[in-house]
Structure 1
Amino acid sequence: MEKRSLSLAGHRTSVALEPEFWTAVERLAAEDGLSLAAFVASVDRGRGEGNLASALRVTVLRRVEAAASGQAMSSD
């Protein structure tokens, strides 16, 4: 696991993900023209009550599935 610290909504938080997921999150952020922090913040805003790390993993999975089926999907 790789832990990274970010500022979300004015508060510092840490998120631990496997390095492969961080690579995927960084790629998706770049595809969306967002900084890593902005991308994570967009996922954070849409996650509801769940864990942020889990929400990031699910976002990666959904985007990979959408790409595999030829669909476009936003991070929100």
Structure 2
Amino acid sequence: MSAAPQPGIVKRSVSIAGHRTSISLETEFWEALQALARTRGQSVQALVGAVDAAREGRNLSSAIRVFVLEACQTATTGRTD
């Protein structure tokens, strides 16, 4: 018996570096990631690939959440460090 999906969690498949992987994120993080990709003129897949390349050992879902959080903090404070 498999576990039921958590409320508000959406699982999507993307191709990164030539292989398919699934990512589970809350709907709000998917929406924020899509908005960031649009703002940067990238596809979500390309942006996820960039996050994947820089994630330094974190699991991909966590790395995406941190990326979105940092992008929001930068937009709010104007800081780039």
Considering the TM-score relative to the shorter chain, is it more than 0.5?
A: yes
Alpha-carbon distance in structure 2 between the residues aligned to 1:12 and 1:58: 22
Alpha-carbon distance in structure 2 between the residues aligned to 1:59 and 1:67: 12
Runs of 4+ more than 3 Å apart: none
Tell me the number of residue pairs that the alignment of Structure 1 and Structure 2 aligns.
73
Are 1:6 and 2:47 counterparts?
A: no
Closer/same/farther in 2, CA of residues 37 and 51 from structure 1, 3 Å limit: same
Alpha-carbon distance in structure 1 between the residues aligned to 2:21 and 2:40: 22
Larger radius of gyration: 2
String of CA shifts for 1:13-61, please: whole Å, max 9, x gaps.
Answer: 0000000000000000111110010000000000011100000000010
Uncovered stretches (5+) of structure 2, i.e. residues with no partner: 1-8
- Normalising by structure 1, report the TM-score: 0.91
Alpha-carbon distance in structure 2 between the residues aligned to 1:61 and 1:69: 12
Match of residue 35, structure 1, among 43, 58, 61: 43
Are 1:46 and 2:33 counterparts?
A: no
Give the percent of matched residue pairs that are identical in Structure 1 and Structure 2. Answer: 48
